[in-house]
Amino acid sequence: MRGPVTRPKLAGTAPGPLARRTAAGARHYSLAVDRFVVRSGAPLAGEVRVQGAKNSALKLMAACLLTEGSTRLCNVPRIVDVEVMSDVLTAIGASVARRDGAAAGDDCATRTGPELVVTVPERCTPIAPYELVEKMRASFVVLGPLLARHGVARVSLPGGDDFGHRPIDMHLRALAALGAEFGTEHGYVEGRCGRLTGARVVLEYPSHTATDNVLMAATLAKGTTVIENAACEPEVQDLAALLVGMGARVSGAGTSRIEVEGVEELRPATHVTVADRVEAATFLAAVGLAGGDVHVVGARDDHMEMLLAKLSSMGLELEATGRGIRARSDGRLAPVDVATLPYPGVATDYKPLLVTMLSVASGVSIVSENLFAGRFRYVDELRRMGADIRTEGHHAVVRGVGRLSGAPVRAPDIRAGAALVLAGLAADGETTVSGAEHIDRGYEDLAGKLRTLGADVARADA
């Protein structure tokens, strides 16, 4: 153990700019408006910039716990999940400040989005409370950094979007291989260790968050850790880049075998968050549904190769420009078969967007979900709009119709909610998408960005 760790009571923290309170003082991470109102219109045109990746920014924020001092994270989107993670870090003892301007000539001057400064004290309160962790599954990744730096952690069992059973056992087994011991009590995972020790860790599945957790923990472990069957996503590579900037010794990120040579300590760093490939996919899908000519600035074609191949097969004309991806479409889509797979395959986050596009394609498509069984729950909402989709187990048969019909629908999660907003671009009449708080978790001003392209999309009070 690296010295005693006290467990003082957690002080209340002020809500972030996207949070609001009830009269009783409870946090609610949603905006005051909760519906999208969408009408179809002219083809889309113009330029839209991609935000920093949600699935990277949250892990980068957790990595700041590995060192004392102030780490600067650039291109961090203004989304609810970032606000939740900010409050998790604040509860642990860090401070999180958002800055919209960078001094000329500094490392963040070329960033494409706002900046967070995460300042971590010498000693933290290694407790991630239930009321925050249950709102967002990704916050469970504070477990690895807390164990590595403080030798103890008490983290609530995670919540987040309900896609079916996603156990945390893989995280615990991986960290146990490095020397941590765990127990569960009153809804919390409690971990303890001396200094972690490097080991060979074989993940039973290339889980993104499990890879992140053990990768961060291994940076301060004694000796060398090898992670086999590691996740290969660009966001894992982004986390590794930050860790290297902090003084970690990491090789192989982006492959299925990551090697980490532990160091005694890390230092604060400045890092620019990678572009959000799922938001980029959302705008490409919008062009497919509404037609038009749009330049998605900041999109990385090398991070989306399999998806771009599928979109091209559906009839989109795609061009890597050096600044992003340009998409053109006349709105006529062809059917394709799709199966979700770990990266570099088609990500499960893309699937609601693809199913929505295929619902108006000129033929029959089969979509197979190989990762999370619960991710067809938005299909009933598309059926309300006239889509012809039949699901059986992990598969969906999508028979394209000529046009969808506007209807009131509800967003069940972040990506499905965005897909339902896009469905309104290919529907007669008006579509209202309630449950907008889900979409706000992952998208910064989705309605506003779509409007800059000419879409008729607005936010409305309940």
Active site residues: 161
CA dist 448 to 16, 91, 117, 378, Å? 21, 32, 26, 23
Q: Rounded to an integer, what distance in angstroms lies between the CA atom of residue 225 and that of residue 227?
A: 7
Residue type, 447: A
Residue 344, preceding peptide bond in cis (omega within 30° of 0): yes
Residue 103, C-beta contacts closer than 8 angstroms, at least 6 positions apart: 109
Q: Are 365 and 338 in contact (CB under 8 A)?
A: yes
Phi and psi at residue 63, in whole multiples of 5°? Answer: -65, -25
Q: Rounded to an integer, what distance in angstroms lies between the CA atom of residue 237 and that of residue 346?
A: 18
CA dist 250 to 122, 205, 374, 404, Å? 24, 21, 35, 49
Residue 365, C-beta contacts closer than 8 angstroms, at least 6 positions apart: 335, 336, 337, 338, 358, 397, 398, 400
Q: Are 418 and 392 in contact (CB under 8 A)?
A: no
Partners of 351 in beta bridges: none
Residue type, 422: L
Q: Is residue 116 helix, strand or coil? A: strand
Task: Say which DSSP state 367 is in.
Answer: E
- Which residue, 397, 363, 361, is CA-closest to 379? 397
Q: Are 431 and 424 in contact (CB under 8 A)?
A: yes
Q: Rounded to an integer, what distance in angstroms lies between the CA atom of residue 221 and that of residue 71?
A: 21
Q: Is residue 115 helix, strand or coil? A: strand
Partners of 201 in beta bridges: 227
Q: Indicate the pairing of strand 408-410 with strand 338-339.
A: unpaired
